[in-house]
Amino acid sequence: MRLRLHCYTCMAKDQITALAVTMPLNATGVYPVTCGRGHRTVAVLQQSHFEVLAEAGIQAIVDGYYRDGVLSFASAFERFQQFVFEIVAASFDGSDAAIKATWKVMARQSERQHGAYLASYLFAFGEPAPVLQSKQIELRNDVAHKGAIPTIDQSIDYAQAVTNAIHATSEKMKGRFDTLISQSITNHLTQGHLAAAPGVPVVTHFHPMFLSFGQPAGAATPNVLSAVQRRMLADGGD
């Protein structure tokens, strides 16, 4: 999957003739752009990493890469669980350094990360967190560790299960942790801006994505099948 990034220097002069550059997704969300006219810009993607991974998962399914779709959504859920842990820990006055140090201990152990998410949700809301069913966990493990190749239906079902869990938790967080969530986004954007070379213009880029934490509270749960079908039609597929 690639992002289409416009040259904001060109756009400031003439939006009609502004040039665009397509770039592959990366893990940092920071995209150094040089247009055909030689203008340099750094675009910082506003969306969180889990939103980007879910978007990559949708596109993988559309393109027929069903294994990649499952693995991208599995990774999206893991990164979302980290996001929840960090927000809830901050609500208990955990410092940024302490939160990062704690996560680092379990950074290579997904089961511990999942446990931290479950505990964080329980402490925050007093009830069990939305989780995947055992058949979905088994599918993910078979794909990740046994080389299983899922069908399109299996990949869509798995992606929807992850989407349901993320959306349900997001709905619980909105209204309660709005200030901390906004601060997390601000910190992400600030880090991206600081990563730019001196003298290079930096802009914040918002790219419409399948899964958006910025949806208003009460919004309907995103539908994976509908999203896949729309994109297939747009791409001229069947």
pLDDT averaged over 10-residue windows placed end to end, the chain, 238 residues: 82 72 88 88 91 96 98 98 97 94 94 97 97 97 97 98 97 94 91 84 88 87 96 79
Provide the whole-model pTM: 0.91
Q: Specify the pLDDT at position 17.
A: 64
Closest to 205 in 3D by CA, of 189, 194, 216, 190: 189
- In the chain the beta strands, taken as DSSP E runs, fall at 2-6, 20-24, 30-34, 40-45, 202-205
Cβ neighbours of residue 118 closer than 8 Å, sequence gap 6 or more: 128, 129, 131
| Pairing outcome for strands 30-34 and 40-45 | antiparallel
- Rounded to whole angstroms, the Cα distance separating 127 from 119 reads 10
- Rounded to whole angstroms, the Cα distance separating 181 from 29 reads 17
- Rounded to whole angstroms, the Cα distance separating 149 from 104 reads 32
CB-neighbour burial class of residue 227 (10 A; exposed 0-12, middle 13-18, buried 19+): buried
User: Contact, 40 vs 15, CB < 8 A?
Assistant: no
Give me the half-sphere count of Cα atoms (radius 13 Å) on the Cβ side of residue 17.
Answer: 4
- Rounded to whole angstroms, the Cα distance separating 117 from 126 reads 13
* Amino acid letter, residue 163: T
17-24: long-range contacts (C-beta < 8 A, 24 or more apart)?
A: none
Residue with tokens 């509908």: 226
- Rounded to whole angstroms, the Cα distance separating 22 from 171 reads 33
